[in-house]
């Protein structure tokens, strides 16, 4: 016993022992205190004393409240207390003090002063001997009175500070308060006025700060923000929202329990600690600090803290510590104003358009230096990524021929779009980004501005064209998908060819799919022909037309997503040696994840569209036509399964999924684009009209190649989603 007492370097406090006795400790802290008490005689004895004192106090309290005092009288006699007079006539003088103490201790919102006052009142009444005057008699006066004093003194000591609060209790209180704020609100929108500051740790150097107004549509997780006052760069708030999206916290809003819980429930173990404090203004606050158990992880949020007001359990501050390799950034968000409003009170399409630019800065005064310092490489890269992210959020497709050019003094977004309305929306989406200038025109404007009639392809802005001022852009990122480029990285001078899908080619009389697989529509009842014979008018049936259109559209959408992933891979290769910020990393990771998820959904849809017809195409036996060309025919008794020789491995295929996961993300993205381009080529050969005669089209090989391509794309996407985007 003495040895365990001397060797222990830590003992549980009375607050922890009382919370353990009341089952109010968190999981990790409860296990720690329990294991220590099992080994330590001192703490185990103290825990038993607390249990006995609380039990005796509750017995006296219950006896003072209950009219049926037979069982209580017997229990009191065993403890050295005797009762005089009948139970019905026995007064209950300590009831008021004990009742006030019980009510104060049961309220988590009670202040420390109120708890101390209630405890001292109970102590005063017990020591005053009013119980004896009212009919209570003490069998052992000295022992009983000393025990009452000790019990009351212990309560006073334990309640001298704020009552102990576990993380689970705090989450329950805050969740109840948040639900009450949204009670009765239909399609709620949260309005907040936030102060956001970013600091570089461990020096806590402020790298950005400002005040913003932000609206959050709770159901859809959409945000719209607006800077307040001058000098509020959008980079800090954009970086914070990017962290939210990366960790699936968009289901909540900044400074909320929902966003904090989304991070805590992401699947990794966290250690929760509750701190209680008082602000300089006298406001009692409680902070839930959650730290990732894997403290050595090099990327992502490693610590999150949520501070709430104790009087109404409303969150007022949120802090995130984000680690990115060798650098660590702290986001501190303080809420200055909070309102809940219905979505119907906002203008139509309020969340679809970004607000206009802030008020222009005042003109420079006389004598001010006109020459501006060139922005740093990190600022230019940040502006370039923010422009790419804005275009990604806008939804740039094959209709828009847009390039992002990073020069020595800024970033230019150039290109063509279809309509004036779309051009204005693109310009507004880029207006609030520092160092970014948009030069976007419609195709009609480009044609009018030309001095000589030229083709539309000649109006496309080439990334090889010199930037304004004679400076050639140092980096060009195309926002338009290209199917003609090889799977490798695109050089700066290359002009991507936009993807276009001409639906008139599907309106041909016979599709290769029908001509080769015998999928012509049945003859109408009036014709009297056998089922499966070609239609008299030679036109494909509506179901085959719809399947062909869906297949080609889905292959095009898959190729667009693959092109976006390859564009990010090229950007990673170009900026590998340039300085970047954690916010830049988060934006790139959000774009990569969303493109990969969209590609996975499109790939699944394309697979379900073409799978019903691929077996009939793949089972065809090639035969020689009279003119020497290969022709596919169906045997009289139906398709015959053949054992074809195993196909040689395609370019970019790895030996195993484990080998794929070990490859760099940029290499996997580039290979996936090559696979998507092959899928698009085979889909068009099978599902669109072709100038090549139907007999010359080897449908069996195309179908088998398409099937292998779909399987390879699924494996490639899985490896791409599991690979690490940022190498240590």
Q: Output the CA–CA distances (angstroms, integers) from residue 192 to 173, 189, 220, 637, in the order listed.
A: 21, 10, 17, 71
- With respect to residue 530, please indicate whether it lies within any of the assigned structural domains: no
- With respect to residue 359, please indicate whether it lies within any of the assigned structural domains: no
By the 8 A CB rule, do 308 and 325 touch? Answer: no
Phi then psi for 35, rounded to 5 degrees?
-65, -40
- CATH number where 271 lies: 2.50.20
- With respect to residue 529, please indicate whether it lies within any of the assigned structural domains: no
Pairing of strands 327-342, 621-624: unpaired
The overall average pLDDT reported for the chain is 68
Longest dimension (CA), the chain: 125
Residue 622 pLDDT greater than 80, yes or no: no
Instruction: Give CA–CA dist 487/677, Å, rounded.
Output: 9
User: pLDDT digit string (tens) for 237-265?
Assistant: 667 767 766 665 655 678 888 888 877 77
Residue finishing a domain among 158, 193, 209: 158
Domain that holds residue 313: 167-345
Is there a single domain that holds both residue 488 and residue 471?
A: no
Residue 131 pLDDT greater than 70, yes or no: no
Q: Which of 98-102, 115-119, 185-189, 495-499 has the highest mean pLDDT?
A: 185-189
- With respect to residue 353, please indicate whether it lies within any of the assigned structural domains: no
Cα–Cα nearest to 26, from 175, 165, 176: 165
- With respect to residue 352, please indicate whether it lies within any of the assigned structural domains: no
User: pLDDT digit string (tens) for 517-551?
Assistant: 444 444 443 334 443 444 444 454 677 778 888 88
Is there a single domain that holds both residue 381 and residue 336?
A: no
Chain centroid, CA 171 distance in Å: 20
Place of tokens 């102590």: 123
Residue 76 pLDDT greater than 50, yes or no: no
Instruction: Give CA–CA dist 319/314, Å, rounded.
Output: 15
Is there a single domain that holds both residue 561 and residue 703?
A: yes
Is there a single domain that holds both residue 171 and residue 146?
A: no
Is there a single domain that holds both residue 336 and residue 200?
A: yes
pLDDT band at 466 (very low <50, low <70, confident <90, very high): very low
- With respect to residue 104, please indicate whether it lies within any of the assigned structural domains: yes
Give residue 458's pLDDT.
42
- Counting residues of the chain whose pLDDT is more than 70, the rounded percentage is 55
Give residue 89's pLDDT.
41
Residue 720 pLDDT greater than 60, yes or no: yes
Tokens of residue 679, six digits: 């899928």
Tokens of residue 310, six digits: 């104790």
Instruction: Give CA–CA dist 719/663, Å, rounded.
Output: 9
Residue finishing a domain among 329, 345, 361: 345
Q: Which residues pair with 287 in a beta bridge?
A: 275, 307
Residue finishing a domain among 345, 361, 387: 345
Give residue 468's pLDDT.
38
- With respect to residue 362, please indicate whether it lies within any of the assigned structural domains: no
Is there a single domain that holds both residue 138 and residue 57?
A: yes
Residue 308 pLDDT greater than 90, yes or no: yes
Residue 307 pLDDT greater than 90, yes or no: yes
pLDDT band at 99 (very low <50, low <70, confident <90, very high): low
Residue of 1 and 339 predicted with greater confidence: 339
Is there a single domain that holds both residue 666 and residue 712?
A: yes
The per-residue DSSP string of 588-606 comes to HHHHHHHHHHHHHHHHHHH
Residue 665 pLDDT greater than 60, yes or no: yes
Domain count for the chain, please give it: 4
Is there a single domain that holds both residue 405 and residue 280?
A: no
By the 8 A CB rule, do 514 and 540 touch? Answer: yes
- With respect to residue 499, please indicate whether it lies within any of the assigned structural domains: no
pLDDT band at 432 (very low <50, low <70, confident <90, very high): confident
Q: CB 566: neighbour CB atoms within 10 A?
A: 28
By the 8 A CB rule, do 677 and 683 touch? Answer: no
pLDDT band at 184 (very low <50, low <70, confident <90, very high): confident
Tokens of residue 628, six digits: 């020497």
Chain centroid, CA 3 distance in Å: 52
Give residue 263's pLDDT.
77
Omega within 30 of 0 (cis) for the link into 194: no
Tokens of residue 587, six digits: 């934006």
Number of H helices and E strands in the chain, helices first, is: 22, 16
- Counting residues of the chain whose pLDDT is more than 90, the rounded percentage is 6
Residue 317 pLDDT greater than 90, yes or no: yes
Is there a single domain that holds both residue 99 and residue 146?
A: yes
Residue 591 pLDDT greater than 50, yes or no: yes
Give residue 68's pLDDT.
46
User: pLDDT digit string (tens) for 476-513?
Assistant: 665 555 433 333 334 443 334 444 444 445 544 445 55
Is there a single domain that holds both residue 559 and residue 518?
A: yes
Residue of 427 and 361 predicted with greater confidence: 427
Is there a single domain that holds both residue 614 and residue 688?
A: yes
For residue 613, is it left (φ>0), alpha (ψ between -120 and 50) or beta?
alpha
Is there a single domain that holds both residue 312 and residue 176?
A: yes
């Amino acid at each position: 016993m003495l040895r365990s007492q001397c060797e222990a370097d830590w003992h549980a406090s009375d607050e922890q022992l009382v919370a353990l006795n009341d089952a109010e400790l968190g999981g990790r802290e409860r296990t720690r205190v329990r294991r220590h008490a099992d080994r330590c005689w001192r703490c185990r004895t103290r825990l038993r004393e607390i249990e006995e004192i609380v039990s005796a106090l509750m017995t006296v309290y219950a006896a003072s409240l209950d009219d049926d005092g037979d069982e209580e009288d017997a229990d009191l006699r065993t403890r050295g207390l005797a009762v005089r007079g009948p139970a019905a006539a026995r007064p209950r003088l300590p009831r008021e003090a004990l009742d006030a103490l019980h009510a104060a201790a049961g309220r988590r919102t009670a202040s420390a002063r109120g708890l101390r006052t209630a405890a001292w009142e109970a102590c005063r009444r017990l020591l005053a001997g009013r119980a004896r005057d009212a009919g209570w008699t003490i069998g052992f006066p000295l022992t009983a009175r000393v025990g009452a004093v000790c019990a009351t003194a212990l309560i006073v000591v334990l309640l001298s500070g704020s009552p102990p609060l576990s993380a689970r209790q705090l989450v329950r209180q805050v969740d109840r308060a948040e639900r009450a704020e949204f009670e009765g609100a239909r399609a709620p929108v949260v309005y907040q006025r936030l102060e956001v500051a970013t600091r570089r740790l461990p020096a806590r150097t402020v790298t950005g700060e400002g005040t913003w107004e932000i609206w959050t549509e709770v159901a859809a997780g959409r945000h719209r923000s607006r800077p307040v006052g001058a000098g509020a760069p959008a980079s800090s708030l954009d970086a914070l929202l990017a962290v939210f999206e990366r960790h699936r916290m968009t289901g909540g809003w900044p400074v909320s329990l929902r966003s904090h819980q989304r991070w805590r429930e992401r699947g990794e173990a966290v250690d929760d600690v509750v701190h209680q404090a008082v602000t300089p203004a006298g406001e009692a606050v409680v902070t839930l600090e959650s730290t990732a158990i894997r403290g050595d992880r090099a990327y992502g949020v490693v610590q999150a803290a949520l501070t709430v007001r104790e009087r109404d359990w409303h969150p007022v501050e949120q802090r995130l510590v984000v680690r990115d390799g060798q650098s660590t950034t702290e986001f501190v968000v303080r809420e200055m104003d909070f309102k809940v409003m219905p979505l119907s009170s906002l203008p139509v399409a309020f969340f679809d358009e970004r607000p206009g630019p802030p008020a222009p800065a005042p003109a420079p005064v006389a004598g001010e230096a006109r020459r501006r310092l060139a922005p740093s490489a990190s600022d230019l890269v940040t502006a370039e990524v923010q422009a790419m992210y804005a275009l990604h959020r806008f939804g740039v497709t094959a209709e828009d021929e847009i390039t992002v050019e990073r020069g020595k003094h800024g970033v230019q977004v150039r290109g063509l779009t279809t309509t004036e309305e779309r051009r204005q929306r693109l310009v507004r989406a880029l207006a609030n980004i520092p160092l970014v200038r948009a030069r976007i025109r419609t195709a009609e404007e480009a044609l009018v501005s030309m001095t000589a009639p030229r083709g539309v392809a000649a109006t496309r802005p080439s990334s090889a064209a010199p930037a304004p001022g004679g400076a050639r852009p140092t980096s060009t990122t195309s926002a338009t998908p290209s199917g003609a480029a090889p799977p490798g990285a695109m050089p700066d001078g290359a002009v991507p060819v936009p993807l276009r899908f001409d639906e008139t080619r599907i309106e041909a009389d016979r599709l290769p799919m029908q001509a080769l697989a015998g999928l012509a529509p049945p003859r109408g009842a009036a014709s009297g022909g056998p089922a499966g014979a070609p239609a008299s008018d030679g036109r494909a049936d509506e179901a085959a037309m719809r399947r062909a259109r869906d297949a080609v559209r889905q292959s095009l959408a898959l190729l667009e997503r693959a092109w976006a992933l390859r564009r990010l891979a090229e950007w990673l290769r170009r900026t590998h040696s340039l300085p970047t910020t954690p916010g830049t990393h988060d934006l790139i990771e959000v774009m990569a994840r969303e493109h990969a998820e969209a590609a996975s959904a499109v790939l699944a849809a394309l697979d379900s569209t073409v799978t019903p017809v691929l077996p009939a195409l793949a089972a065809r036996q090639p035969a020689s036509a009279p003119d020497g060309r290969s022709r596919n025919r169906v045997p009289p008794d139906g398709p015959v399964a053949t054992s074809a020789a195993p196909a040689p491995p395609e370019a970019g295929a790895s030996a195993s999924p484990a080998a794929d996961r070990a490859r760099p993300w940029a290499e996997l993205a580039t290979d996936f684009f090559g696979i998507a381009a092959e899928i698009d080529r085979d889909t068009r050969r099978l599902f669109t009209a072709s100038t090549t005669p139907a007999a010359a089209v080897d449908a069996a090989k195309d179908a088998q190649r398409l099937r292998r391509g779909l399987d390879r794309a699924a494996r490639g996407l899985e490896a791409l989603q599991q690979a690490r985007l940022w190498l240590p």
